[in-house]
Amino acid sequence: MAEQRRDQRDGRGAGEGARDVPEPWKRSVRAEEVPAWEELVATARRTVSDGLVVGTSGNVSVRVGDTVLVTPSGVPYDRLTPDDVTGVDLDGRRVLGTLVPTSELPMHLAIYRTTDAGAVVHTHAVHATAVSTLVPELPAIHYMSGALGGAVRVAPYAAYGTEELAENMLHALADRTGCLLRNHGTITYGTTLDQAYDRTAQLEWMCRLWLTASSVPGLTPTLLSPEQVTEAGERLRGYGQRA
């Protein structure tokens, strides 16, 4: 791992991301990017502590202006420091740091280019990944489906890190803020890292709920109608404290 980390710092990391991302542009970290990177690292570490990923299997990004700060490839989150800030522009050209960005960069950039997302969280949460192998969409087992825009679709499988996977994901995300990736995991977005993370956690919880309810022999879980999910989504938009 130490050798891998040295290679990444020298811009020689292995893998698809290393081939696809050009040499870094030289510029300094801007003031607003410092707290954004700190929050990104904290969120990435939370995905591990909450059991949504194992090791470095997920990735997190946040948009600051026209720059996307993103977790680097293959670096344990507990080792990330302020000096490891990694950023690309919306075309995927590295503008900050020397570490190779996550191999899932195409998915993150596809979301930023097509939505008003401020942050993206991708995980390999076990219950959500299990559901992705069973059904074309998560059954409407709970009204929190409304928080993601409706029934959560499953994007067809494609190899990780590919444009094909990013395209499949975008289709599944149409009018949604989260989806499942078949035999892979989850991806959600929001205006903030907190919102994107909460949507990931809620999605994993709903998948666990459906798996639990549907495993009872001889019984079938009741599901919500599309109208009920839509109503819940409208009510959830006004949920919580207002500034």
33, 38, 39, 104: which one is catalytic? 104
Kindly state the tokens that stand for 31: 């003031």
What local confidence, expressed as pLDDT, does residue 19 receive? 40
Backbone dihedral region for residue 51 (phi beyond 0: left; psi -120 to 50: alpha; all else: beta):
left
Q: Is 83 exposed, middle or buried (0-12, 13-18, 19+ CB in 10 A)?
A: exposed
Residue 135 has, within 13 A of its CA and on its CB side, a CA count of 15
Is 104 known to be catalytic? Answer: yes
Query: CB under 8 Å to 17, separation ≥6 — which residues?
Result: 73, 100, 101, 102, 103, 105, 161
What local confidence, expressed as pLDDT, does residue 165 receive? 98
Q: How far apart are CA 99 and CA 119, in angstroms?
A: 20
Backbone dihedral region for residue 150 (phi beyond 0: left; psi -120 to 50: alpha; all else: beta):
left
Per-residue pLDDT of the chain (243 residues; tens, 9 = 90+): 333 333 444 433 333 443 444 454 568 999 999 999 999 999 999 999 999 999 889 999 999 999 999 999 999 999 999 999 999 999 999 999 999 999 999 999 999 999 999 999 999 999 999 999 999 999 999 999 999 999 999 999 999 999 999 999 999 999 999 999 999 999 999 999 999 999 999 999 999 999 999 999 999 999 999 999 999 999 988 665 555
Model's pTM, two decimal places? 0.88
